[in-house]
Amino acid sequence: MTARRRHGRSDEGSLVVELVVLTPVLFALALCGLVFGRVTEAQQQVAASARAGAQAASVMGSPQQAQFAGAANAVIGGYGQTKTCASASVVTDVGNFRPGGTVTVTVGCKVDLSDLSVPGIPGSTVITVSVTAPVDPYRSVQP
């Protein structure tokens, strides 16, 4: 008999116990990584959309054109790439649209996480980003 068997210690089966204990932990970490990745991608997508909308709205000639351009460019700029957002909203604030003023585009995105079903993480989260762009002080703006 070997020295281990005489003392009653054996390593047989320890790998199985380690796998049984570690598998749920590794699976939970992988799911958390998926959640983090999805939310981060949505955050970047919403920020890029808001930035594109604000830049487009700030060069328009009237508040009505700015509202339309801001919303259209925000939607085209970010939501055509992936299907991260389950629902989206775009609001263009042209209340200060005048030479030297600003225009603000706010984009909201509801990120659906229910298909991942991670304990402790809600089924969805909402990401909202507002970007303000200056209107050129030397341009003419129609009322």
Tens of pLDDT, residue by residue over 44-89, are 989 988 999 999 999 888 889 988 988 888 877 665 556 678 888 8
**Chain centroid to CA 92:** 20
**pLDDT at 7 (0 to 100):** 58
**pLDDT at 129 (0 to 100):** 94
Cβ neighbours around 96 below 10 Å, total: 14
Query: Could you tell me the strand order of the sheet in which 85-93 lies?
Result: 85-93, 102-112, 124-134
- Could you tell me the residue ranges of all domains in the chain? 12-134
Prediction pTM value: 0.76
The residue-averaged pLDDT of 36-40 equals 87
pLDDT at 109 over 70: yes
Rounded distance between C-alpha atoms, residue 4 and residue 56, angstroms = 75
| Radius of gyration (C-alpha) of the chain in whole angstroms | 26
Q: Are 110 and 38 in contact (CB under 8 A)?
A: no
**pLDDT at 6 (0 to 100):** 55
In 15-143, the DSSP E strands lie at 85-93, 102-112, 124-134
**pLDDT at 17 (0 to 100):** 79
Lowest average pLDDT, out of 35-39, 48-52, 100-104, 116-120, goes to 116-120
When comparing pLDDT for 94 and 76, which is higher? 94
